[in-house]
């Protein structure tokens, strides 16, 4: 049986960690691509040498040549400049836009049947650019956003209640930035609405920490940004695609009338399977939630207006 082929573009912390989680889950053979000579080759060899201990049989290869990525089922775009303390995701726009356009064009040229997962910040705008540059159907291009944001919210709720992380489910909508919308009404602990378990003022603090979760890590690291949780979030999305699991995941998806928005990418719940985004799910929002969601969309459009 043919193993899936997964290319991760960018072998920095996020890309290499995504390759690690992908291999451990045995989701397919992995190609690490980078323009820096030796870096993807070295990291791929190091990771593959862990296979006898970790118990996976995936083949992992590093390369600087696009030809070796050909025929990939999934291509993950992590390449770009990472945030530094004091920077917002939006500060990365111009530099990362040029990188994403080039990567998306090459990814589509060598793997025209692939699903693209965009991780580069500012994520929603970069996902839009990747779809435009690649020419792939919008359903086959998505951004990571909500899977990472929701897992941060789940983490903070579990820590607050002193319960298993596994028992918390959560949903975060909107752009992958400071205006994201943690939906506390749709957050549960063991099937119980967290609004019944945590006081409103404390829930508000947890939601705010979720919005700035990435920035908190940037400030602590000083010289880099998060990569363990983003890598795990990427692997979860890859698994939904290559194993056709039809998972409902919050991802940056192309909106074509859903939530009253068109021609923009934003974080929404969607069914993810072998063909990419199979369906965007529209959920009921209160007037306040919808207002926050629209504000988040406007922030994405503002970035795009400087690029497109």
- Point out the residues that are catalytic: 176
Cα(236)–Cα(151) distance, rounded to whole angstroms?
11
Instruction: Tell me the helix, strand and coil percentages in the chain, rounded to 5.
Output: 50, 20, 30
Who contacts 160 (Cβ-Cβ below 8 Å, separation ≥6)? 198, 202, 206
Pairing mode of beta strands 276-280, 262-273: antiparallel
Helix, strand, or coil (residue 41):
helix
H helix intervals, 111-245: 123-134, 146-161, 200-211, 213-221, 228-242
In the chain, the N- to C-terminal Cα span, in Å, equals 43
Cα(138)–Cα(140) distance, rounded to whole angstroms?
5
Question: Before 122, cis peptide (omega within 30)?
Answer: yes
Residue tagged 């793997």 (tokens): 111
75, β-bridge pairs: 7, 116
Cα(150)–Cα(153) distance, rounded to whole angstroms?
5
Spatial contact of 78 and 87, defined as CB atoms under 8 Å apart: no
Spatial contact of 110 and 70, defined as CB atoms under 8 Å apart: yes
């Amino acid at each position: 049986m043919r193993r899936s082929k997964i290319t991760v573009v960018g072998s920095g912390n996020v890309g290499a960690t995504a390759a690690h989680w992908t291999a451990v889950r045995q989701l397919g053979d992995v190609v690490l691509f980078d323009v820096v000579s030796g870096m993807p080759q070295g990291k791929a060899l190091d990771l593959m040498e862990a296979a006898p201990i970790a118990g996976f049989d995936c083949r992992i290869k590093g390369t600087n040549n696009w030809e070796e990525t050909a025929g990939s089922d999934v291509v993950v775009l992590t390449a770009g400049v990472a945030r530094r303390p004091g920077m917002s995701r939006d500060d990365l726009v111009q530099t990362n836009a040029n990188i994403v356009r080039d990567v998306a064009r090459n990814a589509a040229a060598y793997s025209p049947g692939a699903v693209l997962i965009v991780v580069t910040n500012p994520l929603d705008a970069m996902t839009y650019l990747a779809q435009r540059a690649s020419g792939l159907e919008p359903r086959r291009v998505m951004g990571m956003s909500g899977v990472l944001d929701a897992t941060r919210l789940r983490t903070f709720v579990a820590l607050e209640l002193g319960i298993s992380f596994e028992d918390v489910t959560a949903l975060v909508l909107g752009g992958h930035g400071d205006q994201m919308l943690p939906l506390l009404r749709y957050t549960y602990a063991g099937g119980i609405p967290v609004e019944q378990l945590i006081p409103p003022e404390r829930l508000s603090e947890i939601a705010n920490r979720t919005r700035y979760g990435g920035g908190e890590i940037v400030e602590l690291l000083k010289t880099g940004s998060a990569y363990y949780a983003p890598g795990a979030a990427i692997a979860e999305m890859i698994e939904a695609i290559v194993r056709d699991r039809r998972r409902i995941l919050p991802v940056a998806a192309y909106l074509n009338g859903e939530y009253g928005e068109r021609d923009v990418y934003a974080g929404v719940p969607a069914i993810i399977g072998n063909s990419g985004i199979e369906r965007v799910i529209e959920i009921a929002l209160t007037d306040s939630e919808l207002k926050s969601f629209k504000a988040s969309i406007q922030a994405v459009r503002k970035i795009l207006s400087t690029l497109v």
